[in-house]
Structure 1
Amino acid sequence: MSDMKGKFIVLDGERKGTEVPLQFNPSNYTVEESNEFGEKKLMGLKGVIHQFTGSKHADLTLELLFDATDDGEDVRKRIEPLLRLGAIDRELHAPPPCRFVWGPFGFDGIVSQIKREFTYFYHDGTPGRVKLTVTLKPYRPPEEVKAALDLHSSDISKERVLAEGDSIFLMAAREYNAPGEWRRIAEANGIDDPLALLPGTRLLLPPGEENE
């Protein structure tokens, strides 16, 4: 079991069921959770107080290595399948949810960022080795979302603040379990260009279809 390789499995969309194996297992990974606070000014007092607004679900960050120096190939060819996990799916109109599996560890998420650091080059400048830093935002399966909807009265509109590295597509996946529901958020907020949204933007999230 020690040589078991980690892999990604696409959970939905045009490439549902596609597996993307790693060349090498991660050198390390981190799972980060945080609490969110909003600032509130008090009449007649200087400064602000910070009011707890909720918890942010864990993000997963992986450090991965790909090396093509064994056969002199361009390493960019080897990472192309993984890079596609962060591309827009033609069926979902958003990056597809996927599952990262490595031994007993599993994480369902949507790729939000891929950083490439090329560390070795052939004499002609072609890259032969690259280190990737891959970040995934959490994705919940439908049954978990339904349970949360039942418990938290999500038949009413909610407000969320767009965080650094977040997007309207990832927010739709978290809140509605459907990346394609970004249109619902865009229509409710009068957004013409979802790619132009800046961190700190407040967004109104209307009820999901099952609650209308």
Structure 2
Amino acid sequence: MASGSLERMVITAFSDAQYNSQTGDPFTVWINPESYTHDFTIRYSDRQAQGSNGPSPEYNRVGQESISFDLIFDATGVVPPPIPGVSLPADGVAGLVDGFVKLTATVNGVIHRPNYLKLSWAQLQFQCVLSKLKIAYTLFKPNGTPIRAKVSTTFLSFASEKQLAAEANMASPDMSHLITVKAGDTLPDLCHRIYGSSTYYLRVAAFNDLAGFRRLVPGTTLVFPPLQGPTA
């Protein structure tokens, strides 16, 4: 892309938590957000000893990130469509808004939940799901056709369990582990390496939906969930 050229925000939908199976066409915004907010949260347990002068918050976990922004949909002709040669829609912004809602907020019948999403805009690359959506129609044709709308959105960060396990990367049996199978690996051996016991291989096979555990395909990625104790 040439320096100084306009780069528009693109929202892409996926039908799987690993972001491998794209569904539908990516949505390219007509007008980039004027601004966006990126919120981070850290959770603490509120603990205060009896008789103490103040609380001593105890770290609990890192909370979800969120990104919020407003999108303007405009079919007045003032703003050209993002794709050259595309005409202004006859139904104003109604079809554009409906397409955006279908991609981001409507339950996908195949996965029985709304799509997994990825926001892409220059340095912003954010895997997420839609949390809030508010539509305000602000301008109309004389016949009532909406030709401008403001869509307020909030997206929550999303990462699959495999991604979280990879990011944690902690060598402890009470943490999730992400392992790539190598030639000669067996599930009992891997379980012994992770947990100190090979007896968990059936549970790990079930957790990863393996049809069998005797033959592991090299290059396959497996998640070893947190397990502790001989009866865990």
Would you say same fold, with TM above 0.5?
yes
Report which stretch shifted further, 121-130 or 81-90: 121-130
Instruction: Give CA deviations for 1:71-119 in whole Å, capped at 9, x if unaligned.
Output: 5633121112211211212222222111111123211111111111222
2:91 to 64, 73, 83: 73
> Counterparts of 1:61 and 1:210 in 2: how far apart (Å)?
34
What's the TM-score, normalizing by structure 1?
Answer: 0.62
Q: Does 2:8 align with 1:5?
A: yes
Q: Secondary structure in 2 aligned to 1:40?
A: coil
Q: Secondary structure in 2 aligned to 1:53?
A: strand
Alignment of 1:1-212 (within 5 A): 1=1, 2-13=5-16, 16=23, 18-40=25-47, 42-43=49-50, 49-70=56-77, 71=88, 73-84=91-102, 85-140=104-159, 143-148=162-167, 150-151=169-170, 153-154=174-175, 210-211=224-225
Partner letter of residue 69 of structure 1? T
Shift of 1:210: 4.8
Partner letter of residue 105 of structure 2? G
> Counterparts of 1:90 and 1:53 in 2: how far apart (Å)?
35
Shift of 1:64: 1.0
Instruction: Give CA deviations for 1:54-74 in whole Å, capped at 9, x if unaligned.
Output: 222321112211112235633
Kindly tell me: are residues 30 and 98 of structure 1, through their superposed partners in 2, closer, same or farther at Cα, counting changes over 3 Å? Answer: same
Residues 42, 61 of structure 2: 8 Å contact kept = yes
Residues 130, 154 of structure 2: 8 Å contact kept = yes
Q: Residue 185 of structure 1 corresponds to which residue in structure 2?
A: none
Residues 12, 22 of structure 2: 8 Å contact kept = no
Give the paired residue count.
159
> Counterparts of 1:146 and 1:36 in 2: how far apart (Å)?
19
Residues 9, 121 of structure 2: 8 Å contact kept = yes
Q: Secondary structure in 2 aligned to 1:27?
A: coil
> Counterparts of 2:67 and 2:126 in 1: how far apart (Å)?
8
Q: Considering fraction of residues, name the structure with more helix.
A: 1
> Counterparts of 1:38 and 1:146 in 2: how far apart (Å)?
24
Identity %: 19
Q: Which runs of 5+ in 1 are unaligned?
A: 156-208
> Counterparts of 1:93 and 1:150 in 2: how far apart (Å)?
31
Structure showing greater radius of gyration is: 2
Partner letter of residue 4 of structure 1? E
